């Protein structure tokens, strides 16, 4: 076993790897950018090395700086985690050339399986069924469009490099192929530095099922069962479970053997995942999609049902050990489900969020596990992936695991940063999810009913209670009646106190009417005989995984604010991020709905369009400008109506 391992990643996966290194008695080395100087993974490692400025390109994506950090700390191996350079064949090759062990597959396997076009051709030759689609690399836009028309709509555009849903586009109308191909290329180039695309037949209401494989350097390859990953948004997994309710033992064995053959076809070593798309009505008709040559985000559910620590076996295999168990020794016990906790705001269309973690509670124990990179005081910015943590539950059966995970999400508190915890809890209670009737489009179809449209009245009551409590006089002695928030008036009846509040962008004048109990970290209110308890921190309130940032609203100041400071003529940033594209200049004439700017945050693009026809009167940003949420980007003066 290695003496020292450098973890070339950040956040929850770095903390996760460090945990196993500590259990094995292996010294851990963390790396960090300037933005992560006080991050949890830095504090938990035995040693930590600064590797550069905040942008990933100058730190976590810099192979040279990572190798320098390994040399400076005497590391013998590098664990890449997932994301960043985890599937970078050049980095794996550079590690080997400098005498470091890359804890992952050989660079040749990464290169082969990282090219989705070559990967499909290779596994097809090994007898693994693949999705019908385009063939050949380097297709032009016209060739891709021709292939799409030949396959027949709908089709899925996919980057040949990378994964995680970045750059994927579902196209149902041939008329928009050119625009969708251009957008997919731009996103793929930004995410992976490679805009090569392929096109595949789209299977309506498919299920996404993947097989975990494990291979050593002695010719042994086996699978550890499947994971159901069909609950997705924008082609991004949000809930994963093991095993899948769709598969019977015969189909599981057949898919497992296909995954093993796919791994053998590329000379695989270590932990990897073979992903399949499966028609929900015919599980026996499964098709290879791609192979992820790294540890998956959702690996904890496999760990919980197999009892194996996959990071430990990555390390042991990389150190040259032989797998001491065979396929028949692998058994699946119980059921496990994982939810990905992300910095995003469901009420704002799931746009990325950010901020400082003011209050944090992460559930653990009794069949519940949280893998997290968070701590109180963590600054969540727009530079890195929005996933903050994973909450996982294990039980003797699926119903128990679902119940435990819903309870765990309700018990999760991350005040200061908006997350999707409440949304995930409601999704796990959806009748189709409870029944196991899943497909990759279910979330998008049902999303509207899973996101509350209005702020509950008890939230405003709790916010008012906090403000009332802050106004109460402290100490002994005479109290000025004008300083007490009682509504007292000289010579008149008391007038109720009204607070002007704003949550989700909507101002409300609210008069409290219930009874309250306020402490430093909680507030309880009773309305109409019902008691509601919230976690609190500063202007944030949280309950059952949901959180609300309830701020004071000054109606007088708002009435004096013109359109050019956030009114209907203004275009504001929907999320904290970076302006990547500016398509107009001051003085340009624009039409309603015209694309004007692109803001990127956490690897996600958001197009800013003109609210109406008019003239660009102000333009306050340029490509590369960092913007805050709700910051004014441009002002579009409407055309005057012509009257006769």
Q: Are 547 and 567 contained in the same domain? A: no
**Domain finish residue from 157, 172, 201:** 201
Cβ neighbours of 539 (radius 10 Å) = 19
What is the distance between the alpha carbons of residues 456 and 527, in angstroms, rounded to a whole number?
Answer: 12
Domain count for the chain: 5
Q: Are 413 and 480 contained in the same domain? A: no
Q: What is the CATH number of the domain that holds 603?
A: 2.40.50.100
The pLDDT of residue 564: 44
The pLDDT of residue 474: 67
Q: Are 552 and 565 contained in the same domain? A: no
Structure tokens at 568: 């209907």
pLDDT tens digits along 175-191 = 999 999 999 999 899 88
**Domain finish residue from 184, 201, 218:** 201
Q: How many helices (H) and strands (E) does the chain have?
A: 17, 38
**Domain finish residue from 556, 587, 619:** 556
Helix H or strand E segment including 151 = helix 141-151
Q: Are 572 and 633 contained in the same domain? A: yes
Closest CA to 424 of 201, 164, 9, 414: 414
Residue with tokens 């005497």: 74
The pLDDT of residue 562: 43
For the chain, what percent of residues have pLDDT higher than 90? Answer: 75
Q: Are 385 and 398 contained in the same domain? A: yes
Q: Is residue 136 part of a domain?
A: yes
Q: Are 372 and 390 contained in the same domain? A: yes
Task: With H, G, I as helix, E, B as strand and everything else as coil, classify residue 383.
Answer: coil
What is the distance between the alpha carbons of residues 58 and 643, in angstroms, rounded to a whole number?
Answer: 57
Q: Are 21 and 59 contained in the same domain? A: yes
Q: Is residue 307 part of a domain?
A: no
Task: With H, G, I as helix, E, B as strand and everything else as coil, classify residue 642.
Answer: coil
Q: Are 583 and 549 contained in the same domain? A: no
Strands 27-33 and 4-7: parallel
Q: Are 11 and 94 contained in the same domain? A: yes
What is the distance between the alpha carbons of residues 145 and 135, in angstroms, rounded to a whole number?
Answer: 13
C-beta separation of 486 from 498 below 8 A:
no
pTM value? 0.85
Q: What is the CATH number of the domain that holds 511?
A: 3.30.700.40
Residue with tokens 């939810």: 339
Q: Are 571 and 541 contained in the same domain? A: no
Q: Are 551 and 565 contained in the same domain? A: no
Mean pLDDT by 10 residues, the chain (644 residues): 98 98 98 97 98 95 98 98 96 98 98 92 95 83 92 90 80 93 91 89 90 98 98 94 96 97 98 94 90 97 98 98 97 98 93 94 96 96 92 98 98 97 98 96 94 93 95 68 58 73 88 95 97 98 97 76 53 85 92 89 80 90 86 86 44
The per-residue b/e assignment along 527-537, b for 16 or more CB within 10 angstroms, e otherwise, is beeeebebbbb
Q: Is residue 192 part of a domain?
A: yes
Residue with tokens 């300037």: 34
What is the distance between the alpha carbons of residues 3 and 405, in angstroms, rounded to a whole number?
Answer: 37
Closest CA to 428 of 477, 392, 375: 392
Domain range spanning residue 592? 561-638
Closest CA to 209 of 231, 194, 193, 185: 231
Q: Is residue 68 part of a domain?
A: yes
The pLDDT of residue 380: 94
Strands (DSSP E) along 491-582, which ranges? 499-503, 506-510, 515-518, 522-527, 530-537, 540-543, 546-549, 551-552, 570-572, 577-582
Q: Is residue 419 part of a domain?
A: yes
Q: Is residue 288 part of a domain?
A: no
Longest dimension (CA), the chain: 92
C-beta separation of 226 from 194 below 8 A:
no
What is the distance between the alpha carbons of residues 518 and 525, in angstroms, rounded to a whole number?
Answer: 9
Q: What is the CATH number of the domain that holds 86?
A: 3.40.50.20
Alpha carbon separation from 358 to 374, 375, 414 (Å, rounded):
11, 9, 7
Helix H or strand E segment including 509 = strand 506-510
Calculate ∠ Cα 289-291-292, nearest 5°. Answer: 130
Residues facing residue 549 across a β-bridge = 540
Q: Is residue 465 part of a domain?
A: yes
C-beta separation of 83 from 386 below 8 A:
no
Q: Is residue 618 part of a domain?
A: yes
Q: Are 490 and 542 contained in the same domain? A: yes
C-beta separation of 618 from 564 below 8 A:
yes
Give the distance, in angstroms, between the CA of residue 238 and the centroid of all CA atoms in the same chain: 7
The pLDDT of residue 18: 98
Q: What is the CATH number of the domain that holds 168?
A: 3.30.1490.20
The pLDDT of residue 563: 42
217 phi and psi, to 5 degrees?
-90, 15
């Amino acid at each position: 076993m290695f003496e020292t391992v450098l973890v070339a990643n950040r956040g929850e996966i770095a903390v996760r790897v460090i945990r196993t290194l500590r259990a094995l008695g292996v010294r851990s080395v963390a790396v960090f950018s300037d933005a992560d100087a006080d991050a949890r993974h830095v504090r938990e490692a035995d040693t930590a090395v600064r590797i550069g400025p905040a942008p990933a390109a100058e730190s976590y994506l810099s192979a040279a700086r990572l190798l320098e950090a390994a040399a400076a700390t005497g590391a013998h191996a590098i664990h890449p985690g997932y994301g960043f350079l985890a599937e970078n064949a050049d980095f794996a090759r550079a590690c080997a050339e400098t005498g470091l062990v890359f804890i992952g597959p050989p660079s040749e396997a990464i290169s082969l399986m990282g090219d989705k076009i070559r990967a499909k051709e290779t596994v097809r030759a090994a007898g693994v069924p693949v999705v019908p689609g385009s063939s050949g690399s380097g297709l032009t836009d016209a060739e891709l469009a021709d292939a799409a028309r030949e396959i027949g709509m709908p089709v899925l555009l996919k980057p040949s490099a990378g994964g995680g849903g970045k750059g994927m586009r579902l196209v149902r109308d041939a008329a928009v192929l050119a625009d969708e191909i251009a957008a997919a290329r731009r996103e793929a180039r930004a995410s992976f530095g490679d805009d090569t695309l392929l096109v595949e037949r789209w299977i309506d209401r498919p299920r996404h099922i993947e097989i975990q494989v494990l291979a050593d350097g002695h010719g042994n390859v086996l699978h550890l069962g499947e994971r159901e990953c069909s609950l997705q948004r924008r082609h991004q997994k949000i809930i994963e479970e093991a095993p899948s309710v769709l598969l019977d033992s015969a189909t599981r064995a057949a898919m497992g053997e296909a995954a093993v053959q796919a791994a053998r076809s590329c000379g695989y070593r270590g932990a990897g995942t073979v992903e399949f798309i499966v028609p929900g009505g015919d599980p026996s008709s499964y098709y290879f999609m791609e192979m992820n040559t790294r540890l998956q985000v959702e690996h904890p559910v496999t760990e919980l049902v197999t009892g194996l620590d996959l990071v430990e076996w990555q390390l042991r295999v990389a150190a040259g050990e032989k797998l001491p168990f065979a396929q028949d020794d692998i058994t699946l016990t119980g059921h496990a489900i994982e939810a990905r906790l992300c910095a995003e705001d469901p009420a704002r269309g799931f746009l990325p969020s950010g901020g400082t973690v003011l209050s944090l509670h992460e559930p653990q124990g009794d069949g519940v596990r949280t893998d997290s990179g968070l701590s109180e005081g963590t600054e969540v910015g727009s530079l890195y992936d929005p996933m903050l943590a994973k909450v996982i539950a294990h039980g003797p059966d699926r119903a128990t695991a679902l119940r435990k995970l819903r309870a765990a999400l309700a018990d999760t508190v991350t005040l200061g940063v908006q997350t999707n915890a409440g949304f995930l809890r409601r999704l796990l209670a959806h009748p189709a999810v409870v029944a196991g009737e899943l497909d990759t489009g279910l979330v998008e179809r049902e999303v509207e009913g899973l996101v509350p449209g209005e702020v509950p009245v008890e939230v405003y009551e709790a916010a008012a209670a906090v403000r009332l409590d802050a106004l109460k006089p402290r100490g002994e002695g005479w109290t000025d009646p004008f300083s007490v928030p009682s509504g007292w008036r000289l010579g008149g009846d008391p007038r109720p106190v009204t607070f002007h509040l704003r949550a989700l962008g909507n101002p409300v004048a609210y008069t409290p009417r219930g009874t309250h109990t306020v402490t430093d970290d909680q507030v309880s209110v009773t309305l109409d005989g019902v008691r509601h308890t919230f976690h609190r921190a500063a202007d944030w309130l949280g309950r059952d995984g949901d959180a609300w940032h309830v701020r004071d609203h000054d109606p007088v100041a708002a009435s004096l604010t013109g359109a050019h400071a956030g009114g209907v003529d203004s275009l504001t940033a929907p999320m904290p991020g970076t302006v990547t594209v500016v398509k107009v200049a001051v003085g340009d004439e624009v039409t309603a709905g015209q694309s004007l700017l692109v803001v990127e945050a956490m690897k996600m693009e958001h197009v800013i369009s003109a609210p109406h026809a008019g003239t660009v009167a102000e333009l306050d940003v340029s490509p590369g400008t960092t913007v805050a949420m709700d910051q004014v980007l441009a002002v579009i003066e409407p055309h005057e109506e012509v009257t006769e």
